[in-house]
A and B are shown apart, each in its own frame.
Chain A
Amino acid sequence: MEYLAGETQVAVIGAGHAGIEAAVACARLGVQTTLFSLCLDAVGNLPCNPSIGGTAKGHLVREIDALGGVMGKIADAVTIQGRMLNRGKGPAVHSPRAQVDRSAYQREVKKLVERTPNLKLRQAEIVDIRLDENGRVNAVVTDLGGICHCRAAILCTGTYLNAKTFVGSFSRASGPDGLHPANRLTDCLRRLGLPIRRFKTGTPARVHRASIDFTQLEEQPGDSPIIPFSFETLVPPVNRIHCHIAYTNADTHRIIRENIGRSAIFGGEIVGAGARYCPSIEDKITRFADKSRHQIFVEPVGLDTEEIYLQGASSSLPEDVQIAFYRSIAGFSRLEIMRCAYAIEYDCIDPLTLRPTLEFQDISGLFGAGQVNGTSGYEEAAAQGMVAGINAAYNILKESPFVLDRSSSYIGTLIDDLTTKGCSDPYRMMTSRSEYRLLLRHDNADARLTPLGREIGLIADDRWADFQKKMESIEQEIKRLRGTHIPPSETLREILVSCGTPNVSDGANLADLIRRPQIGYRDLTQVDLSRPALPPEVAEQAELEIKYEGYIRKQLVQVEQMKRLEDVLLPEDLDYSQLRGIRLEAREKLGQIRPRSLGQASRISGVNPADISVLAIHLGRR
């Protein structure tokens, strides 16, 4: 029996990291939003590692924050250990990563969602999405028969669609953490004509802290001070815990090898495509047989729990084998598993059916974000949620679409990759995926995106004023460094020699000195007498802009080249099958992906420069 359960403007299906960013962005843009979750105790769950950020993912979080999103601020509030990865490898690959308190994260997110104006949080399973006579979304239907009218809906179903978990030969219909799966929505998506695929991922065991002998493990302390994710976090979090590292050994590998046939993945029960970047321990041992040991990171799940997460040891082996191989590891001989490792398989869609706004090409008003689009990771999900949320709101407010290009951000790169190249296994962001990575540093995410966030309406006045002040100081400091000559002196000579770089007999320009790889801004304090007192992040930006100037300029030329093609938009109703002079393969690919711009078209595999030229000419004819 169905009944009218009211109406909203945007319905967000799923309250994971994609759903939260999408719903909050929509609501903040003044659009009436309802966020549906299968279980209100699982809003903002971290079903895998209790951490946020990491290489390239940390960049995503800072970009979300720079646009006015929530993940960075929540993570900062519940960080229990923070580290900057890749120090020493260059600013482009520095990535912040934080261990967070899992339950505190959920508590904080739920509180924020509940207190956001224009946003309703509802526990319900959405089983149907209905379209009006024009093919536009006009309602979602709950399992209890409630029809909620809406103008747009955002699919953020994570790993819940027809989810199935595996431990050895045992399997059951279940979402992560034993939560209820969403079994009925896939049929609706099929009816809507969306191609459904099946992906797989996995998670390691959670074990009891007291069962670990930490004296046999390597300690992994946090950084001090911690660099927060949010540009608005003024008081950085402090380290409350230590992580540790354990190592597998020959015995561990033997146990796994002897029982490999009992693994759900190797036994053939799982049909989904697994993530290459996230191999199970049995995967690692099979594929890299010559490696004598693998690392396992021992990470506390929170401050008020004894549960410990074993990063690097996900598995779908039977429980008895898990116990045996974990216990073969030094420090784990008395290990007590609290939740065992499992693999999970779920339905998702092919992202090539999406536009760069994350709206489905063929269903007006339906958007997708997060793992349902074939990605993996909280941060990737949140990034998409942000873009889908803004576009769903824009769709209702009749604003022109919000699309970030590759040169603007990792968010733009992620969505362009998804909607242009697609993915055959769960997609993880990596710094090497960006050809513009010297421009897209975590530290300048605000310079890149906050003006956009302001334009969208997600950046408040006081934050905007602070941002402008910061940009001004950076510019002034760069100008000062370029224009300041340091005369020769004994102090300067000593500094240069101690940095291992040649002396300058006539003195030198400050910018020229900073450009030397061996010398940092801070090294020159003693001779830089006119240096103003600046916040460290301002000095850092000035230093990096000067130090990497040559490389940055090279990347900017690249960006400029690409811009010309990005700016030529392709009409949505273009019938590629009728275009003369374009090869058949290219016509098919173009017809399938329906690129938004010539730039996107040029990145489609199977479309060559001659095809693009012909396409450009066709555009001229219209």
Chain B
Amino acid sequence: MLKTIAAISTPPGEAAIAIVRLSGTNAAVIAGQIFTPFISGTSLNDLAGYRGILGKVYEGDTPVDEVVAFVYRAPKSYTGEDVVELCCHGGEYAAGKILRLLFEAGAIPAGPGEFTKRAYLNGKLDLTEAEAVMDLIGASGRSAMRAALAAKDGALGKKIGGLTARLTDWSAHIAAWCDYPEEDLIPVDPAQLAKSLREILSDMDDLLRGYDKGKIIRQGASVAILGRPNVGKSTLMNLLTGQDSSIVTHLPGTTRDVVTERINIGGIALNLLDTAGIRETDNLVEQEGVNRALAQLERADIILAVFDRSQPLKEDDIRLIGLLKDANVIAIANKTDLPPAQSEEEISGRFNQVVGLSAATGDGCEALEQAVLTALNLTGEDPASPLIANERQRLCLQESARSTQEALSAVESAQTLDAVGVCLDFALEALLSLTGERVSEAVVEQVFARFCVGK
């Protein structure tokens, strides 16, 4: 049984829809873990071939996107295996997120041309298709190799290289210790090994966290501005963008759609999403705006929750505070140019970061910039520092971390060294696949370079 592979099958860039494709025995099971059909009581995995169904992709309880899922059953599919195609909204966000969720649910990234390769292995390949596909894969292979070289020589390569060197050292030590039992080598000390593995794991975690930062640096963070009507959200948006992109009036409920703007704060691109004011409403159009605003809650990297400091907290404010419980929030106590009508603790007691500002005058803007960087966990970080560049690299690293964790658990539970060694090999294999090297060669080289062994 081959593992189930997944990839975004539509070209990158803006488009109305994007397709994420899975192929493998577990395609429907894995997709079913993140996809819930609208018709209750049905499940993706129950679907026969050539069927489509509308539903939502969820991350936990959080909806990610509305999606049409098509199911193809082996052998009647492109690859000859079970295939699921998830058609989501276009752009990088939704498809990228869905792909990542699929990986977390057990799919692995498809290599260049792997769908086609499987089609071949399953005897599905249409011969007339072959030639065109081949050139395509050849080209992607060359670019993948350039990427691998970049990973090897670049700043990321240095960090990965550091991790690889430490893992290879241990693997070689265990190999030498096992392959040359009669040499008086220093025994492998489990306590030291465990300590080192913990350090390696923590470095891997840092790199993995860095990926999310790196993505923010490359693609920008999405920042949603939320608040009950007329607390000054659009004024804040206009202050930050320096132009009148939102309709600013003093009539509560004027902004009925989500307005996006791209700005730059401290070198980081922010996609600002201005939203309709959140309040209980009977107006259908307005209600739709409110719903869209609430949807931003789940999508945004940061939420700017705007409150009008010049008025006492209202019921809608309290409701919003409740909704924001688990989000990454900067509370804005707006209208500092007016006399306060609430005590400071009313807001500050409820959020990690509170910035007092006046959207009308611009006072407090710098404090907001700092707060945004803090919320993105980017303070003190050089935005150009080495980072994981893509999902494949992230997955390799995550796989490596998982096997390192298994090796650590094996050491901690006093498992024998051969089992530990196998876990370390898995960890190394995942890391080395980033640079195209192979494990056993690397380890054997190390054994002979570092240890005086042999009869």
Q: Chain A interface (Cβ within 8 Å of chain B)? A: 49, 55-56, 85-86, 88-93, 95, 275-279, 284, 287-288, 291, 293-295, 297, 311-312, 314, 421, 430-435, 437-438, 517-518, 548, 551, 554-555, 560-561, 564, 568, 580-583, 605, 608-614, 616-621
Contacts and interface: CB of A to CB of B under 8 A. Distances in A.
A555 B406 CA distance: 14
Given A55-B179, A90-B417, A275 B454 contact: yes
B275 to A, nearest CB: 45
Describe B's contact surface by its main secondary structure.
helix
B379 interface: no
Interface in B63-122: 111-114, 116-117, 120-121
B330 interface: no
Interface string B155-178: 000000000000000010001011
A371 B133 CA distance: 44
A277 B114 contact: no
Contacts of A561: 2-3
Interface residues of B, number: 60
Interface in B356-411: none
B179 A620 contact: no
Given A55-B180, A276-B454, A580-B138, 17 more contacts: A85-B181, A89-B417, A278-B455, A284-B452, A295-B182, A432-B444, A432-B447, A435-B425, A517-B413, A581-B137, A581-B138, A609-B112, A613-B113, A614-B113, A617-B134, A620-B125, A621-B127
Contacts of A564: 2, 121
23 contacts: A55-B178, A91-B416, A92-B421, A288-B452, A432-B421, A433-B440, A435-B440, A437-B418, A517-B414, A517-B415, A517-B416, A561-B2, A583-B141, A583-B142, A608-B141, A609-B114, A611-B141, A613-B112, A613-B114, A616-B117, A616-B121, A619-B120, A621-B131
A581 B418 contact: no
B223 interface: no
Given A91-B418, A608-B145, A620-B130, A277 B120 contact: no
B419 A610 contact: no
Most buried by B among A89, A613, A621: A613
B436 interface: yes
B404 to A, nearest CB: 14
A603 to B, nearest CB: 8
Nearest to B187: A89
A55 B137 CA distance: 43
Contacts of B183: 295
A609 to B, nearest CB: 5
Most buried by B among A433, A580, A614: A614
Contact of B444 (A55, A314, A433, A438): A433
A360 to B, nearest CB: 25
B175 A89 contact: no
Given A432-B440, A564-B121, A610 B418 contact: no
Contacts, number: 176
B134 A85 contact: no
Contacts of B175: 430-432
A287 B138 contact: no
A598 B228 CA distance: 63
Contact of B454 (A91, A278, A551, A612): A278
B12 to A, nearest CB: 19
B178 A312 contact: no
A608 B144 contact: yes
Nearest to B433: A609
A438 B439 contact: no
A430 B134 contact: no
Most buried by B among A434, A437, A608: A608
A322 B432 CA distance: 45
Contacts of B127: 620-621
B438 A605 contact: yes
Contacts of B181: 55, 85-86, 89, 95
A277 B414 contact: no
The 3 closest A-B pairs by CB, nearest first: A610-B141, A90-B416, A90-B418
B177 A621 contact: no
Nearest to A275: B454
Given A583-B141, A609-B141, A611-B141, A287 B419 contact: no
Contact of B117 (A295, A554, A613): A613
B447 A583 contact: no
A55 B453 CA distance: 13
A431 B179 contact: yes
Nearest to B133: A617
Given A55-B178, A85-B182, A613-B112, A438 B452 contact: no
B296 to A, nearest CB: 40
B1 to A, nearest CB: 6
Given A92-B418, A560-B1, A614 B177 contact: no
Interface in B419-445: 419, 421-423, 425-426, 436, 438-441, 443-444
A49 to B, nearest CB: 6
Contacts of B184: 293, 295
A312 B175 CA distance: 19
Contacts of A291: 452
Given A276-B448, A314-B455, A517-B413, A617 B120 contact: yes
